[in-house]
Amino acid sequence: MSDILIAAYPWIKGLHIISVISWMAALFYLPRLMVHHTERVGLSGETHEIFAMMEYKLAKVIMSPAMMATWIFGLLLVMTPGIVNWDLVWPWLKGASVIGMTIFHVWLMRRMKGFQRGENTVTGKQYRLMNEVPTVLMILIVFSVTVKF
């Protein structure tokens, strides 16, 4: 198995990067949709239905598959011999940040399902604030992987 992972490493890394880009794009865009849904659309009517459909498709067709692919390819990278030095801080910080990103993903999925039911308890301002969470986590992840402290 190790020989296969070593040989496939560049391909796995490329697929991981593609998956991360797709996941991050959705994590950045979905809260923005929810800001506008909350502040401009409301929880009923034709425009609400359109926004609910857009949020659902973004979450289910792009965001969730991209998250799963990110995790699969990331775990394959971690299993590749010689890639991760567990004595350093960076893999632990990256892992904690990816778990945080996944928790944010789950939070967004719950908000999306609430909109589907015509429910929302979060303000536009709160969605704007939460939209900064993936940015902070992305910064931690990128610098932990590139600096490797």
Phi/psi of residue 80, nearest 5 degrees: -75, 125
27 Cβ partners below 8 Å, 6+ apart?
63, 101, 104, 105, 108, 134
- Give the pLDDT score at 2: 85
DSSP for 28-90, please give it: HHHHHHHHHIIIII-SSSHHHHHHHHHHHHIIIIIIHHHHHHHHHHHHHHHHSTTS--TTSSH
pTM of the model: 0.94
Report the distance separating Cα 108 and Cα 130, nearest Å. 10
Dump pLDDT digits (tens) for 4-52.
999 999 999 999 999 999 999 999 999 999 999 999 999 999 999 999 9
